[in-house]
Structures are given as structure tokens and as C-alpha cells.
Structure 1
Amino acid sequence: MVHHLDSYLATPAQLNKINVEAYELGLLNVSDFKRSGQYFWTQLQVFNVSYINFATPQGEFIGAGDYGQGNIQIEEIPKNTKGKSYKYDTDKKGNRTRLVSVQNFNPHAESWYLNAAKAGKPVWSDIYNWDTNPEILSIAASYPLYDETKTLLGVTAVDLKLSQISNFLQTLNLGKSGKAFIIERFANSKSGCQYCISLADSF
């Protein structure tokens, strides 16, 4: 079980590393939200994760994810929008089609951003509710991105919904009476979540 779980939980961290290296090689321009959103959308077609995003210290944000609406949506906070998040439906090629919603969203208030920016290294977030979809509980692997002068450019993160982790655990063969539990060291008061997950050794 541990081997299978480690392999499954390694995917978000590996995907973050791929994206950071793509930026460093000049293959990913995190300032180009149109292309970045489509790039994240494409990765979600391949990897079994829930959400991929990037946020800057200035509060700009780009992400793509499965909101449970039957397709992957792209969400962004462009420059000079005063924290307004714009969420779009997408077509079969990851192009934005219909504007779904406009909401207030502050990525700097989220543990996936705060924890990585403070630690200065890859970390796991606390369990948290998605701000624009609070019914969704998730946990994220986060990776701070720096330029050549060690100035923080932003934080990229990859989410797993707790429902995804639960579904994965149900696929494991634990025998007739076996049960799987993943325990977190500290509870998250913000989400009030009863789920507990230990991910400290997954990087």
C-alpha cells in the first residue's frame, strides 16, 4: 500500500518540477496567461490531478482545473482587475469559450501560496476549501519560483481533491478486512475538515 500511495502522491510534486524546469528552459512563460492556462489545461488531460495554477506576488493568478462541471475550466486574475477572478469554460483544445463567473479571490490568503512563499522550497499545503468552490476539499503540492537574482516570481501548485485520494485508496487491495487511513499531524481549522493526511515525506 505504501509504495502505491507514495507513487500516487508523488505526481503533484513531479508535475511542479516539470513546470519549474519548463520555465527555466524558456519553454513556459508564466506571464502569458493565455498560453499558461492552455498549457495547464493540456497537462490535466494527461495527469490524474485536480488543479494546476500559478500566482504572482502582485496577486495575479492563472489556473486550470476540474470544478466538477464535466469539463476543465480556466480561471485567471489578470493585471489591474482588483482581485477579480474570471472563470471560463473551455473547448476540446483548451481554448476559452464562455465566461462562467466573476468572483473576488485572493491567492495570497491560501496556504498553498503562503506556505511555499514562506518556506522558500517545495511544500504541501494544509487541507483547504477551494475559494471559488468551497464545497471542494483539496490539498496542494506547492513550489516557489525564483528568478536569477533569487527574487520570488510566484508560486506554482498542483492540487489533489480529497475525493480523488479517497477513490485511489479504494482501488488498493488490502485484503478482506483491511482499511487505509492517512493521518495529518495537524488539523486545519480554516476548513474544519475531518480528513487527515500526512504528506511530509512525499517530496
Structure 2
Amino acid sequence: MANKTFSFFYKIFDKSVGSLSIRHTLPLIIVTPLLASVAVIGWFNFQLGKQEIEKLMLQVSEKSTQMIELNLRNYLGKPQVLLPAYLAAIQSGNVDINNLPEVKRYFWQQIQNKTSLNSIYIGTEKGNYVSYEKTENEFMEKFRDESTNSNRNFYEVDSKGNRTRLIKSMEYDPRVRLWYKFAKSVGKPTWTPVYQFGSINTVGMDFSIPIYNQESGNFAGVISTDISLVQISKFLRNLEISQNGKALIMERTGDVIAISTLEQPFKVVNNQTKRLNVRESQDPTIQGTGQYLIEKFKSLDQIEDKQQFTFRLKGNLQLVQVTPLQNQEGIDWLMVVVIPHSDFLKHIYTYTTLTVIIGVSVAGIAVILALLLVRWIIKPIEQLQQAAETIESQNFDQSILEEVSRRRDEFGQLGKVMSAMANVIYSREQNWKQMIDQLQNQDLQKQKTKSGNNSQKQVKNLEVLLRESQQLRTKIGEKDKNSRN
């Protein structure tokens, strides 16, 4: 069975290359499988690499999302832990919210702690307001009561909490502010919707807790702290996703909470701060991803659990992971991570190109070696062929086979055998030539001898004819004489 199979393939091979010269066939036989192997290996490496890259991209997107969620929960969790602790001290009777000097002392003690919140403020139903803020090593007090004439005074304070100078005074009523009204309406600890801070270049949100009188149960005020959305964006910018990977946190309305690009999550139009919607982003990837999400899910409210999918943005494949972030305090956001496939595929292209370069280099070396091998094989064959032609033309030259005969391989053995055979053939031809010459000489002698015998016979025949002719003439002459007489 094996022999039949081999014979079958040999016939196909012989029909394919049997008419070609060894000079061309041998390099082709050596290089073709090598190039085919390089191409197949490169293709399989590329495909396997793509699969591994897709797994890696999913891992990166998942890890990035987990880091974003962890940071957000820590960032949001700090107010959710510390503010209730401050409120517990107030409700335990240690601090009376209507005794503003007492509130100030308590807040000042808390704000100096390195692990404290950056801002603490309280507003009461009477319109009183106390706030402390810290930025690095500087502290600011904000205060409003009956003595400030409905204004909120800004004071610079020293390391002991003493006021050093009045910075400014502005009309202010805490009871009409979002952080106060929203907590009062919800009736429990809550995060407010995003809104514009006092500076038009800052938007953020507050974590507020309503305060109720322990005896009467009546609403008494709100204790609150705020966070800036810019801080979340700074974290996203420092997040390592991929070279062109993007991260986005947005509300289900499409309004941006934070973004990993240099773009701010808000824009200022005519001195008015407006929330940035994902479809209005100047970044093509963020804008395209937001548009695709809205088209895919019709409404972002439909996203209830983690989603992973790919889509093409201007011909480039993008991996997107969308993960909801929710808590009991009113947070309901979407964390979005976008990773272009090209960020990882370029490594595959690099490795594939390197494989091709190595393969082509090896193929080039193989071609050179094949040509040398062809030369090594063809040269003795040509010398053997030349020797055979001289033998055929009876001009055999022993020196033709000297180089081949010196080789130690099969060609050398063949050259020696052919040289001996040529000598035998040459000797035989010389003997045959001598024998032919002798035969030819003998034949000539025979022909000469035979030619002499024939001449004698001809002479004798001529003599007989002459005699008969003379006899005939004599008879004719005698008859003439008789007739005349």
C-alpha cells in the first residue's frame, strides 16, 4: 500500500517537474516548502495572536473597569462614612446645631484631621450656615447668621482657627441651595444631582444628610460635603488602559461625569456652565461610542448589567465595556471603557512582520545554499555528460574526468567507473578498428584476385570469338569463290 501511494505521488511529481532542469527544480523543491511553512506558521501565529489579544483586551477592560469602580467607591465612600459620623456626634447631644460657635469648634477639630473631608458645612432652617474648607495647608471659614445680614462671609483663618481677615461677603441662603433642598425632599442620606459650584469653571455634587430633631422629629437642617467631578477626571487621565484607550463615566441621560481626555465634563457658554453630553464630545472615540450606545440600547436606562461588545468606528474595531455603578445613596452611573483593537494588533503585526522577515531571510539563505548545492551537483553531471559526448565522438579525453574522480562521494565513484569504462570502450574500439582495417585489406586482396581471373576468362572468350569469327569469314570467302566460278 505504501509503495503504491509513493508511486502515485512520484508519477504526479514526475509529470509536474520531470521536464524541468535540475538547475531550476532543486532550488524550487528546497525553497517552496520553506516559504510555504513560513507563510502557514505566520498565518497561524497571527490568528492565535488575535485570539490571545482579544482575551487580553477583555482582561484589560475588565481590570480598568474594576479600578475605576474601586476608585469611585473609595472617593464616594469617604463622605458616606465620615459625614454620618459627624452627624452622629451632633445627634448624640455633643453639638447643638443652633449653637454656631459650638458647631464651628467641632468642624474645626474635624477638618484638621488628615483623613477628614475637604469640606464640611451645615445649614439650618433658621438660615444659619457654617462651613470649613481646606486646600493643601490653607483653611477657609464661611459663615452666615443674623449678624451677617443674610450674607455669607468668607474668612481666612490661621492654624488655630482664628479669623485673620475677611476675604469677601456675598448674599447667600443655604435653604434655597440644591444640596439643602434635595436632602430635605429625599429625607435620607443622598447624593445630589450634578450642579455648578460657586466658580463657573467647576461642577460637582454634594453628599447631604438631613438632620431631624431627636425629640420632636422635626426637620432641623442639613449637613453636607461636596466633591468635584474634575478630581474623578484626573484619576481617569492617570489610568493606564492602552495607548489610545479611553474611559468615561456618565449618567443615563448621556451627561458626562468624568472623562479620561483633556476635555472637561462641562462647557462654559456665555458665562453659563452647561453639562457636556457624550454626543457633544470633541473626542471622536468618546462621541462615536456614546452615539453607538444610544443607538444600540435605544435608552441607556436599558443597561442593567455589564455589557461587552465591539463596533467599528471609521473602519477601526473598538472593544467597549459598559458597567453600571449604583448605590443606595442615589448614584446611578455608567462606567465605559473603550479600547481600539489597533492598540494591541500592532504588536501582532510587528511580530508577524518579524516572522516574515526572518522567514524571507532564511529562504534567501536557503536559495543561496540551494544554488550552491545545484552547482555542486550539476558540475560533475556536466563533466560526466561531456565525457560521454567525447566517448560518443571517439575523442575521449581522460583529463575531463580527473576532477570528478577526485571527489569522495557517489559522483566520484561514478567518475572512476566511467573513466574505466571509457578506457575499456576505447581499447575495444581500437581493436575493432584494427580488425576492420585488416578485414578491409583482405577484402581488397580478394577483390583484386577475383578481378584478375575474370580478365583471363574474358581474354580467352575473346580469343574464342576471334577464332570463330575468322572461321566464319573463311567459310563465307570460300562460298563467294564458288559462286563466282
Q: Same fold (TM over 0.5)?
A: yes
Distance change >3 Å, CA 18–CA 69, structure 1 → 2: closer
SS at match of 2:73: helix
Aligned equivalents of 2:229, 2:98: Cα separation in 1: 30
Residues 1-203 of structure 1 correspond to what in structure 2 (within 5 A)? 1=67, 2-45=69-112, 46-47=114-115, 49-66=117-134, 71-79=138-146, 81-131=148-198, 133-148=199-214, 149-174=216-241, 176-186=243-253, 191-194=273-276, 201=327, 203=329
- Bigger relative contact order, structure 1 or 2 (CA pairs below 8 A, ≥6 apart): 1
Which runs of 5 or more structure 2 residues have no equivalent in the other structure? 1-66, 257-265, 267-271, 279-323, 330-485
Aligned equivalents of 2:120, 2:277: Cα separation in 1: 22
Considering fraction of residues, name the structure with more helix: 2
Aligned equivalents of 1:141, 1:182: Cα separation in 2: 18
Deviation at 1:195, TM superposition (A): 7.6
Counterpart contact for 2:82–2:117, Cα < 8 Å: no
Paired residue type of 1:169? L
What's the TM-score, normalizing by structure 2?
0.37
1:106-157 Cα shifts (integer Å, max 9, x gaps): 21222111110011111111222233x4433221100000012211110011
Paired residue type of 2:203? L
Paired residue type of 1:193? R
Paired residue type of 1:142? S
Which runs of 5 or more structure 1 residues have no equivalent in the other structure? none
User: What percentage of residue pairs aligned between the two structures are identical?
Assistant: 28
Aligned equivalents of 1:195, 1:42: Cα separation in 2: 40
Considering fraction of residues, name the structure with more strand: 1
Deviation at 1:200, TM superposition (A): 5.0
SS at match of 1:182: strand
Distance change >3 Å, CA 123–CA 182, structure 1 → 2: same
Counterpart contact for 1:140–1:159, Cα < 8 Å: yes
Distance change >3 Å, CA 8–CA 117, structure 1 → 2: same
Distance change >3 Å, CA 104–CA 79, structure 1 → 2: same
Deviation at 1:80, TM superposition (A): 5.2
SS at match of 2:75: helix
What's the TM-score, normalizing by structure 1?
0.82
